[in-house]
Structure 1
Amino acid sequence: MNRLVLAKVLTSPLRQGGAKQWTSKVRFNSTVASESTSVEKPVKKMVKYMHPTAPLSSFNAALTSQLRTRGAPKRVLENVLKIVQEIKRQNLRMDLNSYNALLSAYGRAKETRSVMSTFEEMKQNDIEPTQDTYNILLESFIGSADVRGQTRVKNEMKEKKIPLTSQSYYYILHCLCRADELEYALDTLDEMKQTGVQPNLHSYAIMIGGCLRLCDSETAFDLLKEAESSGLAVESSPRVYMDVMRVGATNDKLDIVSYCWDKAVGKYSLRPDEGTCLNVLRVAAKMGDAKLATDVIRQLSTSGYPYKEHYFTPLMEAFTVKNDLKNAFNVLDIMRVSGIPPSMRATLPIRKHLDRDVEAIDQAYYLLEEMRKEGKTVDISAFNVVVGACADAKDVERTIATYREASNLGVVPNVDTYNAVLEACIQTRMKDMGVVVVDEMKKAGINPNLDTYSKMISLACTQRSYEDAFTYLEEMKSYDIVPPESCYARLANKLAYEKDPRFHMVLEEMETFGYKVTPRIRRMWNTESTF
């Protein structure tokens, strides 16, 4: 409890039994008067709530002061209860203001039972609840999402013919949305409009928040458009557009996402977080909206996020959805210029688009030739994805032929190029060609990487004579490279198929490197493995 407030109450002139004599000097009309002045004028004080001659008014002022503080709700409640105890100690009768303050304190502290017991006590003491009182009750049920309790209060208001205000309905809608009762909330919104109460922007915003939790994008967008058509100042709370955009992105609704992006980011300059941007990028990629994808990438840069490979991959996918491979290839060059060298993983949207379609692969190659004739730079990643697509089609001749055209396209093969050719050799079990590729790789001064060794082991395992697999395995370890688990699994499968006792040695080495040897791998020895 505020000790100063109580001290003033307990030492007030009314407690002392009479008016206090003015013995000190008082200033008025810029003149100082002494005690001998015949007429003394008291200093005027501002009167709040009730007349200062009523002792309860000072307590009510103290209660109001406590409710205005920004302290923790529990602490505020403790202070309010101390003031209420002092009111009762002095045998004063609490009035409407006192009870409303106490109800508010209980409500903020989420003590719903105490709210209702205090409300019953209030009525027993013949204090008639007002519209403000009922609004306090309605608000108190939001924290616990107690729809039934709110409904009882609402019905009592109707029985006593106390009209529900826009604030009353806001509390009801808030509680319903917290309880995920969206259908009931929509019915309440209709009821609100039928009774002539205009929903405010806060009501629409809380409803849209409920739609976001339930992933109902259509309803959220309808509510947003209704708020706009009602003449509400939606621009004063542009975060509403951001919420609708998020739920629209969750449901892959491009029209909703595009509309809200233009409003939130384009018009009101909001800065969505990285997660929201990536979700919007995903929708733009899936629906083939390259413009939206470009806008999102630009916004990520504006918001201070450094360029990353997975920002550009959706843009590439958006172009492939529209069958615009030329611009998809251009994205690879843009990435490199932006300081993000594309990896083979980045080209997956293009590779997936080609998907073993020989005609599509040839068209992709012709596009590279066209870009070269136009004087544009053919990115090595664009070339590699075409070579890789040939390998996916298990067409080793087309793979080799494309690989041999590197110089004509102005590109210099890198390790990914050779690995793509090796993949074609694995698909067709052409070990001799694989050896030629590795020799050319070494002559070009390109060091093999982990993927190269893994592919050479896999290629060796496709042959009846597979001793080279152990050679490549030991060569990897000589460079302090721990062979990946997939290499051991591939080799174990081959050894089990050939009933080679070195199978057990490979399992031991797997465990040495911390790989888990599953029961399925152990059963290979006793099972007719297929290679």
Structure 2
Amino acid sequence: MIRRPSIYLPTLFQSFSNSTFTDKTLLSAASSSSTTTLITIHDSHSNRTLSPFYNLLPPTQNPNNIVNLISSILKHESSHLSLLQNNDIKGILSHLGPHEISRVLLRCQSDHASAITFFNWVKKDLNITPTVQNYCVVLHILAWSGVFSQAMEFLSELIQMVEVEGVCVSSNGGIYENLVACTEDCNWNPVIFDMLVKAYVKVGMVEKGLETFRRNIEACFIPNVIACNCLLSGLSRFNYITQCWEVYEEMGKLGVHRNAYTFNIMTHVLCKDGDTDKVTGFLEKMEEEGFEPDLVTYNTLVNSYCKKKRLEDAFYLHKIMYVRGVMPNLITYTTLMNGLCEEGKIKEAHQLFHQMVHRGIDPDIVSYNTLVCGYCKRGKMQMCRSVLYEMIGNRICPDSITCRLIVDGYVRDGKLVSALNTVEELKKYRIKIPEEVYDYLVVALCKEGKPFAARSFLQRVISQDGYIPKRNTYNKLVESLCGFNNVEEALVLKSEMEKKSMKVNIVAYRALISCLCRVKRSLEAESLLEEMISSGMLPDVEISRALIKGYCQENKIDKAVFLLKLFAKEFQVYDNESYNAVVKVFCDVGNVTELMEIQDKLLKVGYVPNKLTCRYVIHGLQKAMEVDDEILP
């Protein structure tokens, strides 16, 4: 296979309209890959014409001398602080523009430390935002000098500014165009173009990384295998499966020597693609190129087969690993155990666990959690406890996942008390219980209709463990207490929330208002309504109904009518049940005349009578007639 040259050809340089490349530049660029000879920099073409009267000024006050002055300071001073302390040049620093910055950087090509010092001083001390061209010059200097980590840092910074924030874009084009244009004046190393691919992938812009990869190939750059693998990994991570194969094939065409890492990435891509049947052929291709599948390759395939519920194939690979001399590790066994558990084969998974231990592989928290999860899902909590205590005996501390799995298993099995007892047992072993487990248990107690037990449990863990309940936990407990008309305790909880700057949600407000109305404390409920509205929450039908019915029960009919109008006008809440509750109060005492007057006003704000309203009115008319008969002699 004929390899393309790794530097630009003359025809390539002519294809860039924004740059002019000379034979001298080409010779210098070509020599950059094999010698440390520096290119002679000519400033004549880049000098800006300033007023000739500047030349009458002292040298340190002449803006024409700014590049020479700064270059001289950088050459003789070791600290960038000297630039700040140099009073002689302060007066002309306003003339330091992008053009001058590039010229100073070009003079620092043999001293990358000075280039970095100057560049950082411009950004941080002078608060000047460098242009794309300024960045590209310093990037070439760093790549030429082999300072790749700093170059990658500046590349990422430049990408963030140009691609994300949209600043620093010049009329000369984007990052790639400027990197190419700057090769005319800079000593440069083609690796900077590979680094650009990696930088795009690093910041998550894999599409731009792929575009740069393609442009590099068009420009006759042979990418190195590290850049290719980085791009493949990024494309795989974002599920660009087709593009992964495009890059992989292009590597073969260009003669890039693919390594084990390349094949492992592509094995992962194959598994993501869902076509595990192609794996065998791909592994053969891998072996043809001199690479034996390693542990990563096999683990990737085993995981893929398990996810597709092809356990027979997964275990076949497990056997092949021994034949090929690749010893399965903890990840292999845990993956197979998880696959068995997902199929409900928890007994076989436990047997495999013992087999792993007998082969000298120590289990970790993940392998134990796999068994715990398997037993919990099958409701075998006794075996789950056995695994838990075995784990503790082996000095592997249960984590938040372990605790949550066990507690959830007991709760799902209807054994909430056992869950609480297990938590207390774990605390005796000085195992820290995750706060989310406490939250889960409080909510579970509330759902089982045990708010007083939940409140007691909450107070205990707050005082003993310093636990701080989440807002939703408080709100759920407030709601549950209100369901049992324990409004005093619910209001105490609400105060605790406010002291901790936690907002009461609409569900808790609804529960509090409804509960206060049920216990004939509607005035307090109305004050909560005002508080709720002031915090930005709007009342709903349930809140409206609770308040209006509450005032009706307390025989405060004027308040109920007022709220009916308020909810309709201000919040567009219309509730016929609340409306009929008001009508019923008037009709029960036979006060039909006043009812008709109020009904006319309610009709104007949008309330419409229904069948139940008519029944109440008829009942009210009958009641009125009975009252009249009693009055007549």
Please report the TM-score for the alignment, with normalisation by the length of structure 1. Answer: 0.49
- Bigger helix share: 2
The structure showing larger relative contact order (alpha-carbon pairs under 8 Å, at least 6 residues apart) is: 2
